[in-house]
Amino acid sequence: MSATTARVAIVTGGSRGIGRQVVSRLAADGYAVVVNYASNDAEGRSAAEEVIAKGGQALAIRADVSDEVAVAALFDAAEEAFGGVDVVVNAAGVMTPGTPLVDLDLNVLDRVMRVNMRGAFVVAQQAARRLRRGGALITFSTSVTKLAHPGYSAYNASKSAVEGMTLILARELRGRDITVNTVAPGPTATDLFLGANTEEAIARLAAQPPLERLGQPADIAEVVAFLAGPARWVNGQVLLVNGGII
């Protein structure tokens, strides 16, 4: 692999759903992409091989985003393979909807917060230390922080924390020429979303935006690509990407 690639991106949660679409989209823009995944080796390798088959450069690295040692090793691998890191997209996350706060198992709360909040913090910390000038960090929140759907208390809490952290980091990186933004999708047709909701709920949510459909991973990936590259004057923002649902 070349150590002279012009632009290099790390995408956490890059083996499935929105993350995988982001990998494909950034690779199409000429990025060398490091595909991070949590556990499924086959899916991680497949996402990287798909990029390579199209003539791009990619590397699959397994790492738990909440583990600071593993995330540091992930960044080490990216730097060793490609010479540096320019864009970090933290798309890794878990969703456990449907249970009211009063009945929520605290073990579930701990898992959601560990992956979504601590994971975002750990990845952002490494990104802040390692991103090259002209770089971008893109974290993921959710439009549920505004919609406040019942049954999403843990998920909403974890993603609200991500938003607050991201906006502060954008200001802490003054003088580095690094943008820091959050993308907050609405209902999006991923395995994570479709598997966590009933058919009735999916139909209801799809009907809510004025565009009258669910978002697609490609819709979200287009916004990520915009923030990763040309959108140098968008900084310290939460971008709601939900078809006008709110």
Q: Catalytic positions, please?
A: 155
Residue labelled with tokens 């439009």: 143
Nearest to 209 by CA among 244, 163, 166: 244
Compute the C-alpha angle 194/67/16, nearest 5°.
25
List, in sequence order, the alpha helices (H) in 3-97: 17-28, 41-53, 68-82
CA 215 to each of CA 21, 110, 141, 200: distance values in angstroms, whole numbers, following the listed order: 13, 28, 15, 17
Can you tell me the distance from the alpha carbon of 215 to that of 241, in angstroms, rounded to the nearest whole number?
Answer: 8
Amino acid at 231: A
